Structure formats: C-alpha cells, structure tokens
Amino acid sequence: SSQPDGAVTVLLGDLWDAFQAYEKQQRQEYYLQYITVKRIERNGINELEVIDGQQRLTTLSILLSVLSASLNEHNISTDKLHYAIRTNFFTGHIYRKENLDELLIKTWDKLIDEDPAYNKQDIFYLFKAVHKIHAFLKSKPKDVVTEFWEYLLQYIKLIVNSVEKHVKSEDVFKNLNSNKIPLTEAELIKGLLITKLGRGEGK
C-alpha cells in the first residue's frame, strides 16, 4: 500500500474533488472503496473488526475530528475506533476538541519528549495526518469548510463488506491483498444496489 502520508493526501483530495463536483451540481453521493469487517463479540459487546480499509477509516475519523473541532460541532466519530494493539491515541488526543487543540500546537519532538511510549511509526502517522488535515482546512474559508463538513456527513458513503464470524480474518486479509479476489465492477454495482435497498431507495 502507499505511504500513510500519501494516503491522507489522496483521500483528502478525492473527498474535496467530490465536494466541489457536488457544489457544481455534477453529482451528489461519493462512495469510498469497500471496507471489509467481521462481527465479533469482545467482553460481551458486539463490535466490528476491520479486516481491510483501516487506513481509510482512520483518515476519515481524523478528518471528522479536525472538522468538528474547528467548527465547534459534535464529533460523530468519537470513540468509534479502538485499536486493540496500541495506546488509544484517538481517545487521548484526537476525538475531543480540547485535546486536539493541544496536539495541534505541539511538535512531534515535544510529544515524544512528554511521552516516549508514543515514539512509534503508526502514532507518527496519526500525528502527521492531524497536522496535514488541519493545515489543509485552515487554507479554506470557514463557510466553505462548514459546507464541506455537512457534505461529508450527508453524502459520503462507505460500502461495507461483512464476512461471516467463522471465517479467519487473516485469510480474508491475505486474499483481499494478494489479488486472488479482485473486486469486479459487477460486485461494486451489487454493493451499490444493496446500499440503496438498505436505505429504501431501490425496488
């Protein structure tokens, strides 16, 4: 896959292009690539384990967090993502406005000086993504940023591919990422139809 930093730039660019097309009334809904999940039960709570598409979900959560903080709006992504294998950097620094504002005035060196446990590549990616998204939004007029936020909430759709509980997550990930089962146009159309039916738009 591409470098995380590049992935943020690409996704942000795609979403902004989709928003501008919407503003010109060229199209409305914008579908992100498949996210593959598996329903699991952890400590008596039903959760969705993300098998593929974690980078997209992470970037989207950061974008929604930075947007809602800058506009003083409720952050719908708060506490939705939990990383099983690391300190939850989202809870401590990204989801809540006051924590995010504090993170935005810190340099990477200051952050890891205060907490050396954060000196990991994936935390560095999250830190860079927050700063990159914030800089991107700061360069836009506030009323346009508000419209962008409203557009994201209303028109950005995720197509979710849910696998059965008994299937091993590792096998699904391996198959998805080794081009053994490329997603065909027919499967994508099927996903769109199912999405529309789910919302009662189709017959």
pLDDT digits (tens, 9 = 90+) for 82-138: 776 556 889 899 999 999 999 999 999 999 999 998 999 889 999 999 999 999 999
C-alpha closest to that of 103 among 122, 77, 130 = 130
Q: Phi and psi at residue 27, in whole multiples of 5°?
A: -165, 170
The tokens for 139 are 């360069």
The tokens for 105 are 């005035």
Give the whole-number percent of the chain exceeding pLDDT 70.
Answer: 76
Q: Is 184 helix (H, G, I), strand (E, B) or coil?
A: coil
Residues 6+ apart with CB under 8 A from 154: none
pTM as predicted: 0.79
